[in-house]
Chain A
């Protein structure tokens, strides 16, 4: 840190004490953000006895993965005692098709809205964007009825459908905002050469889309994996995603609360999105900021 002071010629070329205060603050805040993760990890490998006798920040005396095994395949969520595993796979089965399909639809929609304007395209775009803003509580009652009538209630297919429908507004927004930065000249030149709608998409637009597909995949994956409302309303017992199972596990009031199992389960439920964040953090951040700007 001391070396940094010598070339601190930026916006703040102040003296050392100021820098020390800044670094101390930043590190303290970092510890605050990290503390729950540390507590979750250490608690998950502690024994129940150590949890009762020791305190929150203690290092595990005899680390054991027993709680992890139980969280994965033996813990009771509500009435069944199969652990989180079946629900974890429910989430996997739900998230993959939902992410792929909603991204593809969003890509083609974005291409139309950015490069094939038609009368009223702005009205259509604005009308679609409303889907990003509504609280989903305002659509779940009719949706529950529709899924029931279509025999899709409590199925993964039903959940996939719901996530696709309400994900399209976001994916369309992402792709549309990305594609307006593709020069019109490129598209128009291809048109003059006789390329049609789909040829231009396949040959010009799609090959340029890798970065925005990454952003969109990661955003959608995080949103759908972390969803709770749709899962708890439409998932039923069979298609219940992992977030719902985790909530049931943590809020089970019968018997002794096994905090180590709860924390292991929480980490298991968080692992896929955490891994993605660690691997592709920059796309995750772009998704967050793009989602925040809303066209």
Chain B
């Protein structure tokens, strides 16, 4: 299987391909140009796109606005549309469980991204060395990405089960002092989420980096080799810096997965023991749907949106800026 090069084809093609335009559409006039035909040509495209635009306005922007408004009301079991200021946010920030969730997101997100980047990039560099059976290895590294986070969670919940899983296996092998009970240890449970998350997503990061490596110009590397640079130096000084746009894409996707992480935690620890591995997505779900605290749930959802924006907007800004200045 082949991976489409990341940096060529899509983005650059979008900009500036169209030569001089004679009207706002940039399209040549019709030869057969009946008035009806011209009108249809001008309006059909807009007409075809309009349901999507309306849906996006309502279901994305409208719903975000509604959730924002809901977070400013006293809504509990049923939505209550009376404005009541920022009380829900004050309540939210007073709840210790919220701060546990936020801290867990920080721990999980940071470690998840760090390990995925490290493993993904290392694997990609190793696979880039003209490896036999590269296709098979790549397929093995990538298959977890086809699985649902629920499946991944269920599998790791079984493997990390202290009584029967990894710990028992090590005991059977004679390492009787070996303990690995992170799954039921409230100080460590969030780290089991990191283990399962990295297992699921690192292969995907590998695929993105490998595609990036393959698009690096070979002649630069050969020139450096002629100059006597060692292979690690070439990777460190030339190849990895040229992967800058891939780093952006990977960071974008990984931070997005981390902030939205809900299913993996649900299946693996369900936020437990207690609330020790809670993340904002679970907090939002439980307060909104099982505790009947719609206003508070809405406020926590808005905080999640704010986090996504705080991470994604600077990243996307840097990425487009990098692209514009030719990296």
Contacts and interface: CB of A to CB of B under 8 A. Distances in A.
A133 B158 contact: no
Max chain B C-beta neighbours (<10 A), residue from A130, A135, A277 = A135
Contacts of B6: 289, 292-293
Interface stretch (B86-94, B110-118, B132-140): B132-140
A206 interface: no
B310 interface: no
A22 B211 contact: no
A77 interface: no
A130 B60 contact: yes
A112 B48 CA distance: 8
Contacts of A291: 253
A251 B150 CA distance: 11
A287 to B, nearest CB: 10
Nearest to B245: A293
Interface residues of B, number: 120
Given A124-B53, A194-B30, A259-B164, A286 B37 contact: no
Nearest to A143: B63
A262 interface: yes
B100 interface: no
Interface in A38-93: 39-40, 43, 51-52, 55-57
A36 B155 contact: yes
B98 interface: no
Given A131-B60, A168-B55, A22 B304 contact: no
A202 interface: no
B322 interface: no
B224 to A, nearest CB: 10
Contact of B66 (A25, A52, A142): A142
A288 B207 contact: yes
A26 to B, nearest CB: 6
Given A141-B67, A141-B70, A172-B52, A281 B129 contact: no
B268 to A, nearest CB: 9
Nearest to B64: A138
A107 to B, nearest CB: 11
B243 interface: no
Contacts of B70: 141-142
A165 B55 contact: yes
Contacts of B204: 288
B123 A29 contact: yes
A105 interface: yes
A292 B262 contact: no
B154 interface: yes
Interface residues of A, number: 109
**B interface majority secondary structure:** helix
Given A229-B262, A263-B158, A289-B207, A137 B284 contact: yes
A252 to B, nearest CB: 11
Contact of A274 (B67, B129, B147, B300): B147
Contacts of A262: 154, 158
Given A10-B130, A124-B53, A52 B249 contact: no
Contacts of A192: 28, 30-31
Contact of B131 (A22, A32, A266, A274): A22
Contacts of A112: 45-46, 48-49
A181 B17 CA distance: 10
Interface string A189-201: 0011110111000
Contacts of B64: 134, 138-139
Contacts of A284: 142, 145-146
A226 B149 contact: yes
A116 B28 CA distance: 11
Interface in B233-289: 234, 249-250, 252-253, 256, 259-260, 262-263, 266-267, 270, 280-281, 284-285, 288-289
B184 interface: no
A159 interface: no
Nearest to A174: B10
Given A118-B46, A124-B53, A295 B40 contact: no
Query: Lowest 10 CB-CB distances: which A-B pairs, in order?
Result: A282-B1, A226-B148, A116-B45, A228-B263, A277-B146, A194-B32, A139-B63, A55-B169, A10-B130, A142-B66
21 contacts: A11-B130, A12-B130, A39-B158, A43-B158, A55-B172, A105-B52, A116-B27, A117-B26, A128-B53, A130-B61, A135-B305, A138-B304, A140-B288, A165-B55, A180-B13, A222-B146, A247-B154, A250-B153, A269-B151, A284-B146, A292-B252
Given A29-B119, A29-B123, A184-B18, 16 more contacts: A23-B131, A35-B159, A55-B172, A117-B25, A118-B42, A128-B52, A138-B63, A141-B297, A194-B30, A232-B266, A246-B150, A247-B267, A251-B266, A270-B148, A273-B147, A289-B4
